[in-house]
Structure 1
């Protein structure tokens, strides 16, 4: 089965701030978008050198909002979104560290709506452009691990604060900061039927431009196990995890939100899991559809996250 080149690095969401009675989230900066289950199956495998276009559609529907202690907040607020990401990838023939160097650019577009039957809903920026991502990677293909086919990749990404952002809105497509991500992803073919793919990424954020607020550094990772029921059709069980390492900071102080607002824990966390289905197209294309349910949530909304990924090699 011919696989394709996947250099994904960005998630779907948006930057938003909330004010809920008894829970003052507005003063606490949220984490910027990241890859939450966008790419799972065969994530570490690349096709032949050349160009590849990849598109993602990810829907998020809020089920509940959770506070710093992981408890459900007493609010009827719902923040839902539909996001599309457009990615162009180039895998070159140039060899670096015994692998092929590659480059990627990602342009996200997000439509967000907010509702609150118990009160006012936060305002959303009608402009949909998110922050573009630029990445450079080294891809190692057709290697062996424990005698099994093994392909993997390391990539460094930077998110540029060029998306739509306006302080008049509580919800913006842009995080309005620079974010740096470094990840490693691999796919291990256990046999012709089973494979395992995993991605591990660490992220560092600068302060939000024009403010002294700085979201903490964080980890995000994807994991999937798949089984071929037909030569071109695979089922999978997929999961993702986001966990913030350190407290958000203000003017360099990590205890600011605790002393000023009583938010002793600003770290975000979420675990998503669900089934998926992947169909491999002729000439190396792929369609992957998944549905994630979120749990173990802290300091962010939890919900249902259907995801569609389509990859199309360009050229012959």
Structure 2
């Protein structure tokens, strides 16, 4: 349910040339048929592995920042537990998601022996969210539409150091509710989306680059995943997936707007999903980022294994 386990807050030591204030969000972690559940009620376990590699960090104009190098590479493993009950509310079943990052490793190269960009590894923030999975709308040949609403909460439980530029934790609560939906164009061809609205609370221990500021509050943002796939066999789906992020309000420092720090990026790439049976699924999604501002621009590969306990 997320793209970056490692929250980025990269700046120069004296004169900031790059700003990334937003916390970890789901960019590309969902896949095909996202609006439905594969096997009904009960417990689900999902394991994610992500490899992300960026050869450049972009400024507010989308240009490379003024460092000899600006490489960011990381690998993340995260575990998600989900429970879908048989309790009905408003035409759907209620459930709960919990995502816990279990491992994260990051390498940074600024071309200056990492004097401009300081990072640390560690466990990232926990995400939890109650949700309603609405009953699917059925057609003559199977489901036609399925959707879900989740009220996701990001909890600052991870490792954070205000003297580091890259931290596993954002050190602030955030709300990131979403709506996920899948439409069956025909029994084999589907289109899915997941649309989030991100609201961030204050970080009362801001990064050292903000000087003597008492707090920082990252701006609000909208982000979405999208995917379309075709079942080439009963067990294998192939398709295209992507994501999009746009920060829509300025970051605030001590309650005052600071311009020039809004983030944006979009990405697209191929994907595949193999279903061993109704209860076990493996997906592989890759993404090639474009149009980044105030954040890294790179490529990502995400493996996701889904198991339904039955």
Asked if these proteins are the same fold (TM beyond 0.5), I'd say yes
Aligned to 2:109: 115
- 1:58 corresponding residue in structure 2: 50
**3-state secondary structure, aligned to 1:293:** strand
Once the two structures are TM-superposed, the CA of residue 20 in structure 1 deviates from its matched residue by 4.4
* Match status 1:33 vs 2:33: no
* Partner of residue 202, structure 2: 207
In the TM superposition, what are the counterparts of 1:72-111 in structure 2 within 5 Å?
Answer: 72-75=64-67, 76-108=69-101, 109-111=103-105
**Residue 243 (structure 2) pairs with residue 249 (structure 1):** no
Conservation of the 8 A alpha-carbon contact between 2:146 and 2:183: yes
Candidates 113, 132, 138, aligned match of 1:138: 132
Look up the match of 1:186: 181
User: What SS does the aligned partner of 1:41 have?
Assistant: coil
Question: What is the root-mean-square deviation in Å for CA atoms of aligned residues?
Answer: 2.0
Cα deviation 1:61-101 (Å, max 9, x = unaligned)? 01211111112223312121101111000000000111000
What is the CA-CA distance between 1:233 and the residue it aligns to? 0.3
Q: Distance in 1 between matches of 2:20 and 2:269?
A: 28
TM-score with structure 1 setting the length: 0.88
DSSP-derived class of the 1:230 partner: coil
Structure 1 residues 146 and 32: CA distance shift in structure 2, 3 A:
farther
Q: Deviations over 1:146-197 (max 9, x none)?
A: 9961110000011111111122322211100001011000111111221001
Counterparts of 2:114 and 2:91, CA distance in 1 = 56
Structure 1 residue 246: Cα displacement: 0.6
Cα distance in structure 2, aligned partners of 1:178 and 1:157:
11
The alpha-carbon deviation at position 37 of structure 1 amounts to: 0.6
Are the equivalent residues in 2 in contact too, given 1:13–1:81 (CA < 8 A)? no
Aligned to 2:211: none
SS at match of 2:64: coil
Q: Is 1:303 equivalent to 2:298 in the alignment?
A: yes
Match of 2:210 in 1: none
Segment drifting more, 239-248 vs 11-20: 11-20
SS state at 1:19 partner: coil
How many aligned residue pairs are there?
297
Render the CA deviation track for 1:127-151: whole Å, top value 9, x for unaligned. x211111100000132158996111
TM-score (normalizing by structure 2): 0.90
SS of aligned partner of 1:297: strand
Aligned-partner Cα distance in 2 for 1:20–1:131: 25
1:19 equivalent in structure 2: 11
Task: Return closer, same or farther for 1:22/1:213 CA change in 2, 3 Å cut-off.
Answer: closer
Stretch deviating more after TM superposition (160-169 or 216-225) = 160-169
1:166 equivalent in alignment to 2:161: yes
Q: Distance in 2 between matches of 1:281 and 1:216?
A: 42
Answer yes or no: is the 8 Å Cα contact 2:97–2:129 preserved in 1.
yes
Counterparts of 1:227 and 1:242, CA distance in 2: 26
Give 1:313's aligned residue.
Answer: 308
Indicate which of 190, 195, 202 corresponds to 1:195.
Answer: 190
